[in-house]
Structure 1
């Protein structure tokens, strides 16, 4: 929890575009004390948690990493907007879990592709889209092959090599994207299309930002779990 707190208060300060000295002065503490809080060297008291929550206009739950939403809102599956499609809003076999994850992913992709549209760089759009299609392909094929009765000839890439080839193709798409963003494939894409922070995301995508923030939170919990 402490790790989340120091990461988030540093993030909020940088998103506001103020120095550590300025924030410390406005909070009525020394810069050294704020620096220790941001680095996780010292733990603050509850009174300071409330004070800094008011200062950045966020909830204490958000500061402590208990909520991915700045307001501290805990989402329910029925509160997530539908992204469209034949199965939108449906409950799979009486369970809300697939529906919730589907909405988190779809709504986050809406934001991602809106940014790609603003970028207007075919190379970036192609690399990102190919990578995502390959990820879906890998998961679908793994589930498909779990049933022995499913016919393998549905796919052109053979069972012996599809996994390695898909992995390699995904790495190549990441490499193409990195090279494009670094200007190695010609002119660099305009970085303005990708300038964002938690506040602007909530403002620009009021219906979908909650999904993205929760997708990020869930993904990083999975990462931490496997790194533990």
Structure 2
């Protein structure tokens, strides 16, 4: 609990725009103790968690990092994009934290399911596919920040020509081929029913559902254009 709780507790205070001293006084504890909670040095008791939830108007599951929704339910795409109030200096960081948790949870479920399937080819293909996507986005960030691209082995020109996308399509093909082989061998696939996913991946299952729902909506919109 420590890392997720402390990070969320600190973000909520900064988002509210109050000092550690003010928040500590409102929550009935010393500033030193609140600092320990926010830095993960100590873990609070249940009574403090309840007070913090009331103070920041969030659910216990949210403050403990078990869900991305402040009310304890799934976030919509619009709610994620508007997670921080307009004009808040932490709007970007709060949004980035939410998106990181969302994708991290969804990827965790995906690899959990692949791990249960036990196919190394599928696992490696999925890792390479996602890794190339991260590489491409980071490379764009790196370039626009004015950093020296000699750090990378891949030539900048080849990068802009879509080498990452080429590898992603190749790895997707390998991924599908590996799954088809498992199906042909009558391998028992993990149960993907919503109830089974909720039971096997509490909290993180909401992230997967949200990612799938948002992507499905975006892609369907593109297909209708």
Q: TM-score, normalised by structure 2?
A: 0.56
Aligned length: 144
User: How far did 1:117 drift?
Assistant: 1.2
Name structure 1 gaps, 5 residues minimum. Answer: 1-73, 83-90
Residue aligning to 1:132: 130
**Alignment pair present for 1:158 and 2:158:** no
Paired residue secondary structure (1:216): helix
> Over aligned residues, Cα RMSD in angstroms?
3.0
* The one of 197, 201, 206 aligned to 1:201: 197
User: How far did 1:150 drift?
Assistant: 0.7
* The one of 166, 172, 175 aligned to 2:170: 172
Show the 5 A alignment for 1:205-216. Answer: 205-216=201-212
Residue aligning to 1:48: none
| Shift in CA distance, 151/93, structure 1 to aligned 2, threshold 3 Å | farther
* Maintained 8 Å contact 2:119/2:178: no
Residue aligning to 1:94: 90
Q: Distance in 2 between matches of 1:130 and 1:188?
A: 24
Residue aligning to 2:50: none
| Shift in CA distance, 188/140, structure 1 to aligned 2, threshold 3 Å | farther
Q: TM-score, normalised by structure 1?
A: 0.55
Name structure 2 gaps, 5 residues minimum. Answer: 1-58, 68-83
* Maintained 8 Å contact 2:105/2:204: yes
User: How far did 1:79 drift?
Assistant: 6.3
User: How far did 1:210 drift?
Assistant: 1.1
Q: Distance in 1 between matches of 2:186 and 2:132?
A: 26
Report the more deviating stretch, 160-169 or 127-136: 160-169
| Shift in CA distance, 213/105, structure 1 to aligned 2, threshold 3 Å | same
Residue aligning to 1:81: 66
| Shift in CA distance, 171/216, structure 1 to aligned 2, threshold 3 Å | same
Cα shift readout 1:139-188 (whole Å, capped 9, x = no counterpart): 111111112x21010111111112422111111101111222222xx985
**Alignment pair present for 1:222 and 2:218:** yes
Q: Distance in 2 between matches of 1:78 and 1:223?
A: 32
Cα shift readout 1:57-110 (whole Å, capped 9, x = no counterpart): xxxxxxxxxxxxxxxxx9x9646438xxxxxxxx99612211111101111111
| Shift in CA distance, 204/102, structure 1 to aligned 2, threshold 3 Å | same
Q: Distance in 2 between matches of 1:78 and 1:198?
A: 24
Residue aligning to 1:50: none
Show the 5 A alignment for 1:45-56. Answer: none
